[in-house]
Amino acid sequence: MLATVGKQLRSHPALIPLFIFIGGGVVMSMSYLARLAIRNPDVCWDRKNNPEPWNKLGPTDQYKFYAVGIDYKKLKKEGPDF
């Protein structure tokens, strides 16, 4: 299969940017999904030792990918302890 793709790319060089951008999109989407699975506080991989991981987040923990206009280091705790 890879030999066929290589043969097509040699005969149609205009397809090379298409393969580059499609491959880059696949890599970026897979890395974002991996980040969501690892860093998101809503995802719980170990239910026995840490059943509610969102309760252990501090007020200065940034869990959003991109925060507009919020400095997490200056936030104060406004809720009860669990």
Residue 80 burial (10 A CB sphere; 0-12, 13-18, 19+): exposed
The structure's pTM equals: 0.57
Share of the chain above pLDDT 90, in %: 30
Confidence of residue 62 (pLDDT cuts 50, 70, 90): low
Q: Examine the pLDDT at 59 and tell me if it is beyond 70.
A: no
- Nearest CA to 72 among 53, 42, 63, 81? 63
Q: Examine the pLDDT at 1 and tell me if it is beyond 90.
A: no
Q: Examine the pLDDT at 7 and tell me if it is beyond 70.
A: yes
Looking at per-residue confidence, does 80 or 3 come out higher?
3
